[in-house]
Amino acid sequence: DAKTTQPNSMESNEEEPVHLPCNHSTISGTDYIHWYRQLPSQGPEYVIHGLTSNVNNRMASLAIAEDRKSSTLILHRATLRDAAVYYCILKGTSYGKLTFGQGTILTVHP
Amino acid sequence: DTEVTQTPKHLVMGMTNKKSLKCEQHMGHRAMYWYKQKAKKPPELMFVYSYEKLSINESVPSRFSPECPNSSLLNLHLHALQPEDSALYLCASSQSPYRGQFFGPGTRLTVL
Task: Give pLDDT tens digits for B1-24.
Answer: 669 999 999 999 999 999 999 999
Residue to test with chain B: of A95, A99, A104, A105, most B Cβ within 10 A: A95
Integer Cα distance of B95 and B31 in angstroms: 6
- What pLDDT does A2 receive? 64
Task: Give how far A16 is from chain B: nearest CA, Å.
Answer: 27
Chain A: residue whose CA lies nearest to B36: A43
- What pLDDT does A30 receive? 87
Closest CA to A9 of A18, B67, A1, A17: A18
- What pLDDT does A19 receive? 98
Q: Is B101 in Cβ contact with A46 (below 8 Å)?
A: yes
Task: Give pLDDT tens digits for B75-102.
Answer: 999 999 999 999 999 999 999 877 889 9
- What pLDDT does B91 receive? 97
DSSP chain B: ---EEEE-SEEEE-TT-EEEEEEEE-S---EEEEEEE-TTS--EEEEEEETTEEEEE-S--TTEEEEEEETTEEEEEEES--GGG-EEEEEEEESSTTS--EE---EEEEE-
What is the residue type of B6?
Answer: Q
Supply φ then ψ for residue B55, to 5 degrees. -115, -25
Q: Does residue B69 carry a pLDDT above 80? A: yes
Q: Is A101 in Cβ contact with B42 (below 8 Å)?
A: yes
Residue to test with chain A: of B40, B41, B44, B45, most A Cβ within 10 A: B45
Chain A: residue whose CA lies nearest to B107: A43
Written in H, E and C, the secondary structure of B91-110 is EEEECCCCCCCEECCCEEEE
Q: Distance of CA B15 to CAs A66, B18, B38, Å? A: 52, 9, 18
Q: Distance of CA A27 to CAs A52, A60, A75, B51, Å? A: 11, 22, 23, 29
Supply φ then ψ for residue A25, to 5 degrees. -70, -20
SS3 assignment, position A40: coil
Q: Does residue A95 carry a pLDDT above 80? A: no
Supply φ then ψ for residue A64, to 5 degrees. -115, 130
Q: Which residues of A touch B106 (CB under 8 A)?
A: 42-43
Question: Is the Cβ–Cβ distance between A79 and A96 less than 8 Å?
Answer: no
- What pLDDT does A41 receive? 86
Residue to test with chain A: of B101, B107, B108, most A Cβ within 10 A: B101
Chain B: residue whose CA lies nearest to A31: B98
Q: Is B102 in Cβ contact with A46 (below 8 Å)?
A: yes
